[in-house]
Structure 1
Amino acid sequence: MDLDPGTLRIDLLDGPGVRAAADGLGALLADAVRDGASVGFLAPLGDAEAAGWWRDAAAQAEAGVRTVWAAHGAGGALLGAVTLVRATAPNQRHRGDIAKLLVHTSARGRGLGRALLAAAEEGAAGLGLTLLVLDTETGSPAEHLYRSAGWARAGTIPGYAADPAGRPRPTTYYYKTLA
C-alpha cells in the first residue's frame, strides 16, 4: 500500500461517514486482531463482526462522543484509523481517550501511526480538550510510538486485558497534556 505523503490523506469522519466506511474499517480492525493487537477483541474476529462494531461506533460519532479519523493512500485505500472518545461526566469534559489506533499490517513502520495520533491530538485540542489518555498492551510496539510522541507513562496494571488469544496481559496507561 502506498504511503506517499503526496497521496496520503487523513479525513475526519462524521457519523454517516463512519457508517459508510464500516466495512473497510471492519477489515482494518480484523487485520489488527489477526496480527495480535490487543484492541478489545478476541481472535478470530471476522470482518463482518468488526464492521458491526464500527456501525455501533457510528452512532457514538453521531452523538458527539466518538470522533474518527481515517487514513487513505493512493487510490483511496484505507490504511489506518484512530478514534477519540470524549469523557461525558461533567467533571471530566476536559479529557478524552485515544482508542483503536489501527494501521494496516502492510502499512506499518512508515509513520502512519504517528500521523494518525497527531491528527487525533490536534482534533482534541481543537475541541478544547486539555488531557488525553490511552492504554496499550505492555511491551507492544505501540509503546515506543507513544513515548516518542511525548506521552507520559502513568502506570501498568497486570493482567488487565486479554490479548486476541485470550491470555491476560499487562496494560500500560499513558497520558498527554495538550496546550
Structure 2
Amino acid sequence: MTRRRALAWGAAAVAAVTLALVGLKLFRFPPDTTPEGAYLRIAYSVGANDLRTCFSYLEDRAQHAAYTIRDYRLKASERIEASYPEPERTRLLDQYRAHAMAEDGADVWVDIATTQGFVARLRRDVSGIAKVEVTGERATVETARGTRYPFRRRDNGIWGLTLFTADLVAEAERAARDWDVVEKAALDYERGR
C-alpha cells in the first residue's frame, strides 16, 4: 500500500467517524422527561416494531393495569388447572394463556396492543410534532397530521401516554371479575366431587 493510499484511507476513516458523531448529535432525542422526548421514543419504537419499549412510555396507571391483568390471569389459570374438569379446563386455559404466561406487563401490553388494534392506530397516526401544550402534570402533543396525543407526567418524571389507559384499566377490571367467577366455579366443582 502506498503512502498516498494509506493517507486517503485514514482521512476517509476520520471523516466517517466525524459524520457519525455529528449525525448522533443531530438525531438525538430530547429527554423523555419532556413530552416531545416521550412521544418521539414511542414513534420510533412503533416504527421499529419494538412494542415492548413503548410500554415504558405509558402512564403509571396503564402499566399497573397490564401487570394486574397478568397477575389475575395467572392466578385464574392456576385455579382452573387445579379444579376444573375437561373440556372447560382446556378452553379457559387456552383463553388465558397469553396473559397468564406473560413475563411481565410489557408482554401483556404487546398482546393487547396488537390484538385490539392499538399498534395499527399508532402506525397510522404518528408523525412529526407540530406543537406541544403543557398544563401542569398533563401535556398534549399535536402531530403534523393533527392527531393529539395526551400525556401525563409520571412519578419518575418521564411523560407517559394516556391514550390507552382506559382500555387497559377496563381489561384489568374484567380480569378481576373473571377471577371471582373462576374461584366460585372452582369451589362448586370441588364440592361436587
TM category (shorter chain) comes to: under 0.3
| Larger Rg computed on CA atoms | 2
Query: Quick check: which one's helix share is greater?
Result: 2
TM-score computed with the length of structure 2 as normaliser: 0.25
TM-score computed with the length of structure 1 as normaliser: 0.27
Structure with more contact order per residue of length (Cα contacts < 8 Å, sep ≥ 6): 2
Query: Quick check: which one's strand share is greater?
Result: 1
